[in-house]
Amino acid sequence: MQNLLETNVLIVGGGPAGASAALSLLKYSNLNVIIVEESDLASVKVGEQVNSSIFGLLEYMGIGRDDFTQDNFILGYSSTAAWGSERISVRDSIFNTETESFQLNREEFDYTLLEKVSEKGGIIFPRTKCLQFDQKDDNSWDVDLKHDTKGHFAVHADYLIDATGRSGSVGRKLGLESTRYDELTAIGKFLYCKESQHVKQDIVIESIEDGWWYCATLPNQKMTLTFFTDASIIKEKRLEKIENWNELLSKTTHIQHKITAAYSVGKPWVKNAFSQVTDILSRKNFLAVGDAVASFDPISSMGIGFAITSACNAAKAIIDANLGYEKTFTSYQENINAIYHQYLQTKAFFYQKEQRWSNSAFWRKRI
Ligand SMILES: Cc1cc2nc3c(=O)[nH]c(=O)nc-3n(C[C@H](O)[C@H](O)[C@H](O)COP(=O)(O)OP(=O)(O)OC[C@H]3O[C@@H](n4cnc5c(N)ncnc54)[C@H](O)[C@@H]3O)c2cc1C
């Protein structure tokens, strides 16, 4: 007979959103939690700029800055952009970003959150895939799973949370409706600098006709260099080929200057970066958190902070629903919709500042 585990909350996806939902539930209730993560937890992560509000969010979940190694957060000393003009300006004046920003060691950050989940009594199954979701008459869930070496097992849960990131794969399997606003895609590489080299700790953004480049210094002499454009432009210009990607890089001035002393290996990676919001209310005892419920253009640097905030709010909605309060999931969705509405306005405002290529396929859709 197949192994059957019982839990109050099953969370699918062990990124910042999934881990934060688990941490909040474990801190503020007696509900028990299982996280299922399909990767082996060793994969390379992208997305690393956060502002200082991250520390308040971590504290809310019972985690201190000293739970991370000292070099996990590096202060982004300056953030500049050539956006709307070929001249480089301090980014704050263009994008009106608030407070200090930090660059994370993203792999360590995600891993530490999961370690804390485990320390606080959560159960984590890495390298595990969800095969099927069945909702029972009492709205609880039966989920069939498969671990890559230990084989099949099943979990029965009162509540199910989708924390699978931009793929929102649980919600899609359940037929939830999402609204997608663009087809932004990131194509990037990590660069490295020698130990002996001084690396300026800053962020540089530069727009060109087909999109915009982003280069940031990360902890451990690493940099991330990413081109953001539409999926159709990547296809048309065959940007996954390094020679074509390099040709677009050669159109930059400030970015090229920043990376002169850095080296890289391999082909560029490609990641979805589209803006999308999902409505979760057609299913009972189901919530989505982080990118799975709402994903943002990385120009906003909202992703990680939102992943944690939405997860804490989702945990509260479940705790309150379990105590018998009504409409807690509806309030959760209304809050997401309000944040998203504000975000779309701010995003349009950012993009309208770049008017130099109003006829190009990329900018025409955004300005
Ligand atoms: C190029 C790029 C740059 C970015 N830059 C920034 C930035 O500077 N600042 C910022 O705040 N945000 C940034 N973001 C966004 C940020 O990375 C995300 O918002 C954040 O990672 C969302 O966290 P999450 O936990 O919702 O999803 P994720 O971090 O994507 O985690 C989802 C997890 O679910 C797992 N998973 C997926 N499907 C399944 C499944 N079916 N079963 C089990 N597990 C599954 C995945 O393996 C993963 O571990 C960037 C995004 C991109 C693409």
Whether 111 has a pLDDT exceeding 90, the answer reads yes
Rounded Cα gap, residues 77 and 24, in angstroms: 31
Residue 355, in any domain of the structure: no
Output the pLDDT for position 44: 81
Same domain as 190, residue 166: no
Whether 65 has a pLDDT exceeding 50, the answer reads yes
pTM: 0.95
Residue with tokens 């099949």: 152
Whether ligand 1 lies within 6 angstroms of the CB of 18 is answered as yes
Whether ligand 1 lies within 6 angstroms of the CB of 97 is answered as no
- The percent of residues above 70 in pLDDT, for the chain, comes to 97
Whether ligand 1 lies within 6 angstroms of the CB of 12 is answered as yes
Which atom of ligand 1 is nearest to 130's Cα?
42
Same domain as 265, residue 224: yes
Residue 325, in any domain of the structure: yes
Same domain as 284, residue 157: yes
Among candidate residues 328, 327, 310, 311, the one with its CA nearest the CA of residue 319: 328
Whether 167 has a pLDDT exceeding 80, the answer reads yes
Question: Is-contact 164 287, C-beta < 8 A?
Answer: no
Same domain as 205, residue 111: no
Which atom of ligand 1 is nearest to 13's Cα?
34
Same domain as 283, residue 250: no
Q: Which domain holds residue 346?
A: 4-55+106-181+275-350
- Residue at a domain's end among 257, 273, 289: 273
265 CA to centre of ligand 1 in angstroms: 23
Q: Which amino acid is present at 63?
A: I
Whether 78 has a pLDDT exceeding 90, the answer reads no
Q: Which residues contact 200 (CB under 8 A, 6 or more apart)?
A: 77, 217, 258
Report which protein residue has its CA nearest ligand 1's atom 31: 15
Same domain as 117, residue 51: yes
Q: Which amino acid is present at 78?
A: S
Residue 254, in any domain of the structure: yes
Which atom of ligand 1 is nearest to 271's Cα?
53
Taking the CA atoms of 197, 86, 342 and 187 in sequence, report the sign of the dihedral they define: negative
177 CA to centre of ligand 1 in angstroms: 20
- Residue at a domain's end among 227, 248, 273: 273
Report which protein residue has its CA nearest ligand 1's atom 38: 164
pLDDT tens-place string over residues 318-348: 999 999 999 999 999 999 999 999 999 999 9
Per-residue pLDDT, averaged over 350-361, amounts to 94
Whether 97 has a pLDDT exceeding 60, the answer reads no
Same domain as 314, residue 219: no
Residue 330 corresponds to which tokens in the numbers above? 């509806």
22 CA to centre of ligand 1 in angstroms: 16
Whether 194 has a pLDDT exceeding 90, the answer reads no
**CATH code where residue 226 lies:** 3.30.9.100
Same domain as 221, residue 150: no
Average pLDDT, the chain: 93
- Residue at a domain's end among 273, 307, 342: 273
Whether ligand 1 lies within 6 angstroms of the CB of 122 is answered as no
Query: With bands split at pLDDT 50, 70 and 90, how would you rate the model's confidence at 91?
Result: low
Same domain as 263, residue 314: no
Give the DSSP H/E element, type plus range, for residue 237: helix 231-237
Per the structure, the count of domains in the chain is 2
